[in-house]
Amino acid sequence: MPRLYQVVLIVSTLGLAWLGMQVVHELGHVLAARASGEEVYRLVLHPLAISRTDASHDKHPLRVVWGGPVLGVLLPLVALVVTRWVHCRWFYLFQFFAGFCLIANGVYLGVGSIDGVGDAGDLLRYGAPRWPLIVFGLVTAPAGLYLWNGLGRHFGLGEARGRVDRRAAVIGLGLLLTVVLAEILVSGR
């Protein structure tokens, strides 16, 4: 039975990390667009789609595009600091999420700068030099791996032998199902 909770915790954490990363990344685009006086036409958040923010890029296109990856790593780091400060029981879950966001956004821009795809392609098309995208990836992805270092025991790996916080597993699964349902319902409108 402990292995079931371990699997639930790992799967729900990965699912929440993926969906949450897309939410904070797109929130970054939206906030940067609004702060720059740009118009947001559409926000795509669906569990079976890659997230996207369609916005005007008339006034400050680089700011709008950079907003996604920059706030996409800063917001989870702020949440990590807050959970550490309040001594949250599930700090390790926020640490995993922050690491996930650092890795995902770093690889997205770093590798994307080579192929010119996604936000990296947009940044290059709007005149950003390639080197800051590569540096962003070289800084954030290893920082994410650093945050992940030593978290295995919380997920029942190694000497933990499948033992995990059952409450975290159940709550994580509930949150994942809630987020999936919310994204499906909201995207249908």
Q: What is the pLDDT of residues 29-68, one digit of tens each?
A: 999 999 999 999 999 999 999 999 999 999 999 999 999 9
Q: Any idea where the domains of the chain sit in the sequence?
A: 2-187
Query: How does DSSP assign the chain, residue by residue?
Result: -HHHHHHHHHHHHHHHHHHHHHHHHHHHHHHHHHHTTPPEEEEE--TTS--EEEE--SS-HHHHHHHHHHHHHHHHHHHHHHHHHTT-TTHHHHHHHHHHHHHHHHHHHHHHHHHT-HHHHHHHHTT--HHHHHHHHHHHHHHHHHHHTT-GGGGT-GGGTT---HHHHHHHHHHHHHHHHHHHHHHT-
| Higher local confidence (pLDDT), 187 or 23 | 23
pTM for this entry: 0.95
Model confidence at 88: pLDDT above 80: yes
Query: In the predicted model, what is the mean pLDDT of residues 158-179?
Result: 96
Task: Note the pLDDT tens digit of each residue in 57-86.
Answer: 999 999 999 999 999 999 999 999 999 999
Amino acid (1-letter code) at residue 10 = I
**pLDDT attached to residue 189:** 58
- State the pLDDT at residue 187: 81
